Amino acid sequence: MMQRPPAEIGMLIDEIDTPALVVDLDIYERNLDKMAELIEKSGKMLRPHAKMHKSPAVALDQIKRGAVGICCQKISEAEIMVEGGIEDVLITNEIVSRGKLARVAKLAKKAKVGICVDNAVATTTLNEECVRENVNIRVLVEIDVGGHRCGVTNPEDALNLAKIITASGNLSFGGLQAYHGSAQHMRTVEERSNAVNDAARIVRETVDRLKSSGIDCPVVTGGGTGTLMHDIGHDEWDELQCGSYAFMDADYAKNKFANDDFGTGFSHSFFVRTMIMSTCQPDMVVADAGLKAIASDSGNPTIAGHEHLTYRMTSDEHGCISISDQDNFKLGQILMLVPGHCDPTVNLYDWIVGIRGDKVETLWPVAARGAIA
Amino acid sequence: MMQRPPAEIGMLIDEIDTPALVVDLDIYERNLDKMAELIEKSGKMLRPHAKMHKSPAVALDQIKRGAVGICCQKISEAEIMVEGGIEDVLITNEIVSRGKLARVAKLAKKAKVGICVDNAVATTTLNEECVRENVNIRVLVEIDVGGHRCGVTNPEDALNLAKIITASGNLSFGGLQAYHGSAQHMRTVEERSNAVNDAARIVRETVDRLKSSGIDCPVVTGGGTGTLMHDIGHDEWDELQCGSYAFMDADYAKNKFANDDFGTGFSHSFFVRTMIMSTCQPDMVVADAGLKAIASDSGNPTIAGHEHLTYRMTSDEHGCISISDQDNFKLGQILMLVPGHCDPTVNLYDWIVGIRGDKVETLWPVAARGAIA
């Protein structure tokens, strides 16, 4: 069941129900424009990760500004994005079960679909399902570039998989998935720069190994918002997968940059609107956004305009703010929180409320909310 | 949009898609029966908290076994429960905005509705909305019994609110909401027992203060699964609000009891089914349930049958398990995880898959998933 929207188009922002996910459209569009400009200068392609926003409306805004397509993490997510009008989807994750691989093959009849593999079993199964559906799918080999999660761990294994792909009648070798997830949140410029340099070396070694066996690597894809300024300077990547740049979360704000705008000109466009619902305690107020309104994996949200205070999600539906005499909060007052982590927070909502100035301008359905299979 | 169910009724459990929320119906029914037995012996009423399961199907199972109604935390949750056939709902939380209080009044035309207050403004507004709808609503005063969250902090404030309620034409004074949230997760029997004793003392003082001003307290409601064995021994509570007992999460398993069945005979009935999707690393496997499949606020899930290992939700769609040579995991293998915290985990899913033996017996819609406003 989709929850009813917390707002109506045209209403004043004061009338938006709480908790609600709100995007400031001026800031959001500035983030998108800034990325388009950076990407154009870099000569790379942009394939934003839709696991962040899970909304075809946002994906279409990104494509309108030059993105070549989007990334998804799950087949269910990809299906919904294609249903929502996206014509080019890359599944940047491993899929193992035959049932899901059959759905990947089916989806390739409706859109340009790519997928990653890091093992021979899934590759062979996928080819069988593509034969059944009479489709050809672009398959990338995921390589571990330092994140130590999925992906083959040496050039030889990458070569073996690339050979299996090229030998499969209904698969085309699409290149390498080279994403370093943990590097996105390394705090210092030096740490991130080192991680990206190491990842680039692994990419080069792998591309060279493939080439020495006569296999060309059409595309190397990877990168993210946290490492963007480093990724851009490396020829090893052809395509970048940034997602968070559109909304920006509080965790990215903890990364240190040469300047204070995430080194890239991106700003928080994304907030959880909450209302103070209890003021009985002398040194604390309680608001109505808890663990079901804001993902807690990357720490507490910050409170816009009250950054010296801490918002603790003490339970499912409560957030507590310890205050001193200087802090003057009223029952019913609205606060705007910047969540620690965009992606799992967006996944809690059915609607994103787009605001401009003092008005609600748009309601985006989070169509792939809960599409985790 | 509701996601497609991860299973079909009648299929073998091996065919359930991943990640999926699975309830073992034999264990679940044993938990419900055990609670009904405990409650009957205690002479108290049971009003299970539906914020845990968010599913009318589960609520109806509880009512069938003698529960007097259910608790909800939000008006949106209550509306969905009434829509799903529940006739008696208590909103155990503060609501402040007029828009929401108007919905509470409207809901009272369809079902028996109660609500908590801890301030005069909301009480007065609620009465105005009840007048408009020509309904009468049962209003309980929430008192802080040690959780230091919502609720008035002294008997005098409780009395003042009770007077406002009794003086309001369309409100009836329903008694006291006396819930101690943080006591549920105190680890030792002694800590929990002391917390409940302190809470009981505050309830007594408040009830006495009301009585001395001629106000009788019809019902004192509160308590939870963690403090159940203590709550039951206290006359101060007439009605208990346990929720987790039906599913039981890994966090409750960390509470120390005199025996190893949570002191109450409840067992884990609730699992997240996940598939190993990558085995490239020599000392680690990766499964397909991450931060969007399991709430992380109460720590990692445990892995049923592999309790010596740690499941780390390293990213939105990945879970990593560090393994040694003794641990033999295969690509495509299924694992059953016991989440750290039921409530926000259930809130990530549209469907609960009910299994019995090796078959899928039922699919419960999590109808109030995302009902956080």
Over residues A230-251, the pLDDT tens digits come to: 999 999 999 999 999 999 988 8
Interface test with B, best of A118, A149, A157 (most B CBs within 10 A): A149
Tokens 């059944």, located at residue: A132
Tokens 């090796």, located at residue: B358
Please state, in angstroms and rounded to a whole number, the distance separating the CA atoms of residues A220 and A174: 9
> Which pLDDT band, with edges at 50, 70 and 90, does B191 fall under?
very high
CA distance B335 to chain A (A): 14
pTM of the model: 0.96
Report the pLDDT value the prediction gives residue B325, as an integer from 0 to 100.
87
Report the pLDDT value the prediction gives residue B234, as an integer from 0 to 100.
96
| Range from A43-47, A321-325, B15-19, B271-275 carrying the lowest mean pLDDT | A321-325
Chain B contact for A331, CB < 8 A?
Answer: yes
CA distance A41 to chain B (A): 31
Cβ-based neighbour number of residue A98 at 10 Å: 14
Give the CA distances from residue A341 to residues A109, B80, B348, in Å, rounded to whole numbers and listed in that order: 34, 29, 16
Which residue does chain A place closest to B77, by CA atoms?
A3
Please state, in angstroms and rounded to a whole number, the distance separating the CA atoms of residues B187 and A87: 53
What lies within 8 Å, CB to CB, of A348 at 6+ separation is A292, A293, A294, A295, A369, B347, B348, B370, B372
Q: Is A21 left (phi over 0), alpha (psi -120 to 50) or beta?
A: beta
Report the pLDDT value the prediction gives residue A261, as an integer from 0 to 100.
47
Q: Which of B3, B144, B370 is the closest to A349 by Cβ?
A: B370
Which residue does chain A place closest to B274, by CA atoms?
A373
Report the pLDDT value the prediction gives residue B251, as an integer from 0 to 100.
82
Report the pLDDT value the prediction gives residue A299, as an integer from 0 to 100.
93
Report the pLDDT value the prediction gives residue A89, as an integer from 0 to 100.
98
Chain B contact for A291, CB < 8 A?
Answer: yes
For B301-344, write each residue's pLDDT tens digit: 999 999 999 999 989 999 999 999 888 899 999 999 999 999 99
Report the pLDDT value the prediction gives residue B249, as an integer from 0 to 100.
85
Give the CA distances from residue A9 to residues A20, A104, B102, B129, B309, in Å, rounded to whole numbers and listed in that order: 14, 36, 21, 25, 49
Residue B229 backbone dihedrals phi, psi, to 5 degrees: -65, -25
Closest CA relative to residue A226, chosen from A191, A269, A176: A191
pLDDT, mean over chain B: 95
Residue A72 backbone dihedrals phi, psi, to 5 degrees: -130, 165
Tokens 């398993």, located at residue: B253
Report the pLDDT value the prediction gives residue B263, as an integer from 0 to 100.
63
Cα B189 to chain centroid, rounded: 21
**Exposed e or buried b for every residue in A59-77, given b needs 16+ CB within 10 A?**
bbbbbebebbbbbbbbbbb
- Could you state, in order of their start, the residue ranges of all structural domains in chain B? 13-20+265-365, 26-254
SS3 state at B201:
helix
Helix ranges restricted to H, A47-145: 56-64, 75-83, 98-107, 120-133
CA distance A103 to chain B (A): 12
Please state, in angstroms and rounded to a whole number, the distance separating the CA atoms of residues A315 and B322: 30
Is B251 in contact with B298 (CB distance < 8 Å)? yes
Any long-range contacts for A134-137 (C-beta under 8 Å, 24+ apart)?
Answer: A134/A170, A135/A105, A135/A108, A135/A109, A135/A170, A136/A108, A136/A170, A136/A171, A136/A172, A137/A104, A137/A105, A137/A108, A137/A113, A137/A170, A137/A171, A137/A172
| pLDDT above 90 as % of chain B | 92
CB contacts of A349 in chain B (<8 Å) are 370
Block means of pLDDT (10 residues each) for chain A, 373 residues, are: 93 98 97 96 97 98 98 98 98 98 98 98 98 98 97 98 98 98 91 96 98 98 95 96 93 67 78 98 97 96 95 95 93 97 97 98 98 97
Please state, in angstroms and rounded to a whole number, the distance separating the CA atoms of residues A174 and A45: 15
Average the pLDDT over B161-179 and give the result: 98
Q: Do A280 and B150 touch (CB under 8 A)?
A: yes
Please state, in angstroms and rounded to a whole number, the distance separating the CA atoms of residues A315 and A294: 11
Correct CATH for A26-247 of 3.30.565.60, 3.20.20.10, 3.30.300.20, 3.40.50.300: 3.20.20.10
Please state, in angstroms and rounded to a whole number, the distance separating the CA atoms of residues B50 and A124: 45
| DSSP tag of A259 | S
Report the pLDDT value the prediction gives residue A259, as an integer from 0 to 100.
52
Q: Do B279 and A119 touch (CB under 8 A)?
A: yes
Q: Do A371 and B3 touch (CB under 8 A)?
A: yes
Q: Which two tokens stand for residue A72?
A: 């998804």
> Which pLDDT band, with edges at 50, 70 and 90, does B261 fall under?
very low
For A320-343, write each residue's pLDDT tens digit: 999 998 888 999 999 999 999 999
Report the pLDDT value the prediction gives residue A325, as an integer from 0 to 100.
87
Task: Confirm whether B13-20+265-365 and B26-254 share one CATH topology.
Answer: no
Q: Nearest 10 degrees: CA dihedral of A212, A213, A215, A221?
A: -60
From chain A residues 109-168, the ones with a CB under 8 A of any chain B CB are 118-119, 121-122, 144, 148-153, 157
Cβ-based neighbour number of residue B71 at 10 Å: 29
Peptide bond into B19 cis (omega under 30): yes
Chain A contact for B278, CB < 8 A?
Answer: yes
Cα B297 to chain centroid, rounded: 15
CATH topology of domain B26-254: TIM Barrel (3.20.20)
Q: Which helix (H) or strand (E) holds B155?
A: helix B155-167
Q: Do A76 and B350 touch (CB under 8 A)?
A: no
Query: CATH says B13-20+265-365 is which class?
Result: mainly beta
